[in-house]
Amino acid sequence: MNTTFERDLDAKGYIDVAVDPSLDIVQEIARLKKEKNAVILAHYYQESEIQDIADYIGDSLGLSQQAAKTDADVIVFAGVHFMAETAKILSPSKKVLLPDLKAGCSLSDSCPPHLFAKFKEKYPDHLVITYVNCTAELKALSDIVCTSSNAVQIVESLPADQKIIFGPDKNLGDYVKKKTGRDLVLWNGACMVHEIFSQDKIDALRAEYPEAKFIAHPECEEHILAQADYIGSTSGMLKFTIEDPSSTFIVATEAGILHQMQKASPAKTFIPAPPNNLCACNDCPHMKLNTLEKLYNCLYYEQPEITLSEDIIARAQKPIERMLEISEKLGL
């Protein structure tokens, strides 16, 4: 890689090369995928044009598991940094690319591993469960990883007297505490997207659309979850909107999921729950750093690449494997 690219990655986080405007970028991405034996993963929160060219669309862990099953040599993860790390953990022999290295995560950033390690030392008799939305280093400090869809069942599968630290999301942890009745020790972290929904604006929407179902992600604050008709992961919310007979839904999570909801149920109406600012919907600024142009350059130049030490990969694999074992036993 030349020095210009190195400077771009250091300063900007992506390959900053202009794409010929006459190029059929979608066609070129398809050609490069075939040429390089690559697979493109897109999280539900990506822009619709990226979702539409992806081989797989879904939640972060599910995407990484899907990629691990393929015979692809290259994984392009259109998501955020911790998601690409998870793909690398599950597919250490594959090259994992992220269109923009600065596509981070406010939740992941809210839990620096060195501080969490100190926190963990205060509770030596506690089992550590971490939400998958965290860094590889944090996973390496954990006993079990969970997702928003299996966190309750993972905790319930453990002995009633097992002491537990849960991190990094305090809202998900609080939701799990209420559902399980367990006294979890919570790390004080949160997702910026799920913490700025406006109660007043949601109330106004519900008054305007009294027939609408209000659905929310468990990373939302307690007062938002308290009024939800359904609480679940992004994939769970999508499934609910497909199966529920209601024709209108107010959706409290990142607005990117509405694209898949509308595709799956074109006759239904989906309204993003508004945040407490002037925006009409709640977008994750980190997720939206990825663009088609960055994805094209990423695949063309095979940079930026996600690299992890063998030690971190080995240690981070164990809590993920423990989660998968428990999930299999529970039939999840």
Q: Which residues contact 15 (CB under 8 A, 6 or more apart)?
A: 5, 8, 9, 294, 297, 298, 301, 303, 304
Range of the domain at 22: 5-103+287-308
Same domain flag for 90 and 9: yes
- pLDDT at residue 25 tops 70: yes
Q: How far is the C-alpha of 232 from the C-alpha of 258, rounded, in Å?
A: 15
Same domain flag for 79 and 129: no
- pLDDT at residue 23 tops 90: yes
Q: Which residues contact 3 (CB under 8 A, 6 or more apart)?
A: none
Mean pLDDT of the chain: 93
Same domain flag for 88 and 33: yes
Q: Which of 8-12, 144-148, 166-170 has the lowest mean pLDDT?
A: 8-12
| 220 occurs within a structural domain | yes
Same domain flag for 98 and 111: no
Annotated binding site for [4Fe-4S] cluster: 105, 191, 284
Please tell me the predicted confidence (pLDDT) of residue 280: 57
CB of 280 closer than 8 Å to CB of 258: no
| 277 occurs within a structural domain | no
- pLDDT at residue 67 tops 90: no
Query: Amino acid identity of 17?
Result: V
| 278 occurs within a structural domain | no
Same domain flag for 9 and 78: yes
The pLDDT tens digits of the residues spanning 36-56 come to 999 999 999 999 999 999 999
Same domain flag for 26 and 54: yes
% of residues, the chain, pLDDT over 70: 97
Question: Residue range 126-136: average pLDDT?
Answer: 96
Please tell me the predicted confidence (pLDDT) of residue 332: 76
CB of 238 closer than 8 Å to CB of 255: no
Structural domain count, the chain: 3
Please tell me the predicted confidence (pLDDT) of residue 41: 95
> In this structure, what CATH number is given to the domain that contains residue 213?
3.40.50.10800
Same domain flag for 98 and 29: yes
- pLDDT at residue 8 tops 80: no
Q: How far is the C-alpha of 96 from the C-alpha of 64, rounded, in Å?
A: 10
Q: How far is the C-alpha of 165 from the C-alpha of 309, rounded, in Å?
A: 26
Residue 144: pLDDT band (50, 70, 90) is: very high
Q: Which residues contact 24 (CB under 8 A, 6 or more apart)?
A: none
Please tell me the predicted confidence (pLDDT) of residue 281: 65
Residue 61: pLDDT band (50, 70, 90) is: confident
Q: How far is the C-alpha of 235 from the C-alpha of 253, rounded, in Å?
A: 11
Residue 64: pLDDT band (50, 70, 90) is: confident
Annotated binding site for iminosuccinate: 43, 60, 131-133, 148, 217-219, 234
**Residue 251 phi, psi (nearest 5):** -115, 115
Give the number of other Cβ atoms within 10 Å of residue 177's Cβ: 18
Residue 62: pLDDT band (50, 70, 90) is: confident
Same domain flag for 30 and 93: yes
Same domain flag for 139 and 172: yes
| 93 occurs within a structural domain | yes
| 279 occurs within a structural domain | no
DSSP string, 237-268: HHHHHHHS--SEEEEES-TTHHHHHHHH-TTS
Annotated binding site: 43, 60, 105, 131-133, 148, 191, 217-219, 234, 284
Q: Which of 39-53, 69-83, 271-285 has the lowest mean pLDDT?
A: 271-285
Q: Which of 59-63, 87-91, 310-314 has the lowest mean pLDDT?
A: 59-63
Same domain flag for 208 and 149: no
- pLDDT at residue 1 tops 80: no
Please tell me the predicted confidence (pLDDT) of residue 284: 86
| 36 occurs within a structural domain | yes
Please tell me the predicted confidence (pLDDT) of residue 285: 86
Instruction: Report, in this order, helix, strand and coil percent for the chain, each rounded to 5.
Output: 45, 15, 40
Same domain flag for 124 and 144: yes
| 32 occurs within a structural domain | yes
Q: Mind spelling out the 3-state secondary structure of 132-177? A: CCCCHHHHHCCCEEECCCCHHHHHHCCCCCCCEEEECEHHHHHHHH
Same domain flag for 70 and 216: no
**pTM beyond 0.75:** yes
- pLDDT at residue 295 tops 90: yes
CB of 111 closer than 8 Å to CB of 138: yes
DSSP string, 53-72: T-SEEE-HHHHHHHHHHS--
The residue with greater pLDDT, 276 or 247, is 247
Residue 3: pLDDT band (50, 70, 90) is: low
| 42 occurs within a structural domain | yes
